């Protein structure tokens, strides 16, 4: 195929004239726009390390703040079963393994990720509920739920 370029008539009417004030406004606006760049995404430091320490102290250390009955009420399953699920998922799914991000900061622990997913499943509450307690954004909480459900189906469905 042979393509022909489209030719547009040149605009040669010189009847448009700008006074000095108009040119000054255009120059000022152009200079302001030229200096602007796309606004940077606001980074929120959620301190997931501290959130993990609080979670561990509340439920998973030798003498936790909350007892086994409270754990079962909160998670709708015994702590032993929860820890077995976390271990199985962590050993089989890369996404649940603890890593470091591009800034060299530690990611969420497998227990934090599974806690977010199970709490969403048991309470039916939205993902942004866990922002402060787990130090986790709404998006990360949604991803935890999605990856958790996929991992459970992959590991235990037969």
Give the pLDDT confidence score for residue 32 in this predicted structure: 66
In this prediction, residue 52 carries a pLDDT of 93
pLDDT, mean of residues 1-11: 56
Question: Which pLDDT belongs to residue 44?
Answer: 63
19 pLDDT exceeds 60? yes
Structure tokens at 3: 């393509």
pLDDT at 15 over 60: no
In the structure encoding, which two tokens stand for residue 139, read together?
């998006």
Q: What is the pLDDT of residue 83?
A: 96
Q: Is the pTM of this model over 0.85?
A: no
Rounded to 5 degrees, what are φ and ψ at 38? -60, 135
Domain map of the chain by residue range? Answer: 48-156
> SS3 for 100?
strand
Note the pLDDT tens digit of each residue in 29-82. 666 665 555 566 666 666 888 999 999 999 999 999 999 999 999 999 999 999
The pLDDT, as a whole number, for residue 102 is 78
- What's the token pair of residue 42? 């606001």
Exposed / middle / buried, residue 15 (Cβ in 10 Å: 0-12, 13-18, 19+) = exposed
Q: Is a pLDDT exceeding 80 seen at residue 84?
A: yes
Alpha-carbon distance of 96 to 118, in angstroms, equals 14
């Amino acid at each position: 195929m042979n393509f022909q370029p489209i030719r547009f008539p040149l605009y040669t009417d010189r009847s448009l004239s700008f006074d000095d004030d108009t040119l000054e406004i255009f120059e000022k606006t152009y200079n302001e726009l030229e200096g602007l760049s796309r606004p940077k995404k606001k980074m929120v430091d959620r301190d997931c390390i501290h959130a993990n320490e609080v979670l561990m102290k509340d439920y998973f250390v030798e003498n936790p703040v909350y007892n086994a009955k409270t754990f079962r009420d909160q998670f709708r399953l015994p702590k032993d079963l929860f820890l077995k699920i976390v271990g199985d998922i962590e050993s089989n799914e890369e996404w649940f393994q603890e890593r470091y991000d591009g800034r060299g900061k530690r990611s969420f622990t497998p227990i934090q990720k599974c806690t977010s997913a199970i709490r969403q499943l048991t309470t039916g509450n939205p993902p942004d509920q866990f922002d402060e307690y787990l130090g986790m954004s709404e998006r990360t909480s949604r991803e935890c739920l999605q990856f958790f459900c996929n991992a459970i189906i992959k590991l235990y469905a037969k």
